[in-house]
Amino acid sequence: MYLFAPCVGRDIAFAASFVGEETSVLRLNDVGANLANARLALSSIGWQLGKEMKVSSAVTRFEALTPLSKVLAVEIDSNDAKDFVLEAELGSIKTFVYHHDGSSEGGSGLGFLGPGMGRQKNSLVDQLMEKLADHAFVVTDGSNGDFRFRKLKVFSKYGRTWTPIRQIVARDSSYRATWLWTATRTLP
């Protein structure tokens, strides 16, 4: 199962902190992603990293051993994040980490959890919902997402019941608070 963190920027160590028991691949994605920065960020939190191998022109993969002795694959992807969402297998994303993104300069404008923002207004919500596991975890501050993620109440949308579990990062002067949610597929 994947932990997928699109538009990760400098939040690599933050995203990696959500690797769970079922995670077999940590997929870090950002246009222009830098392998050296990713290796440095993961090493700084105690991960032991293996030799990298090119999977494609934009994807590099290596094995990692976490401080809790979990072995998993790490994939660094410099493609547009929507490519992975479109190609991933159904139900293969167990954890989705998406925060500190926007629609202005430097932001993706992609709508993983809502309609998208800015000039692109590129919504990937339907595709992402297909790729999330039946019972998935989502870490978000509501970036480019549905307004309900800011209300912090249980709601049903996109074929799932969304339940806020706990605050992960407090609101600061630049960003909204980031919360852990469960996203449970509802029966049709």
What is the pLDDT averaged over residues 47-62?
Answer: 92
Give 121-173 pLDDT, tens digit per residue. Answer: 567 788 899 999 999 999 988 777 788 888 889 999 999 999 999 998 776 65
pLDDT band, very low/low/confident/very high, at 112 (cuts 50, 70, 90): confident
Predicted pLDDT of residue 109? 57
Predicted pLDDT of residue 122? 63
pLDDT band, very low/low/confident/very high, at 72 (cuts 50, 70, 90): very high
Question: Mean of the per-residue pLDDT values for the chain?
Answer: 85
Helix (H, G, I), strand (E, B) or coil at 91: coil
Contact 31, 78 (CB under 8 A): yes
- The answer on pLDDT for 27 being more than 60 is yes
Percent of the chain with pLDDT over 70: 87
Distance CA 152, CA 8 (A): 23
Contact 16, 42 (CB under 8 A): yes
- The answer on pLDDT for 107 being more than 60 is no
* Residues contacting residue 125 through CB under 8 Å, at least 6 positions apart: 111, 112, 113, 114, 115, 158
What is the pLDDT averaged over residues 38-60?
Answer: 92
Helices H / strands E in the chain, number of each: 4, 13
- The answer on pLDDT for 100 being more than 70 is no
Predicted pLDDT of residue 101? 63
Q: Which residues pair with 161 in a beta bridge?
A: 156, 184
Nearest to 15 by CA among 52, 36, 42, 51: 42
Contact 30, 78 (CB under 8 A): yes
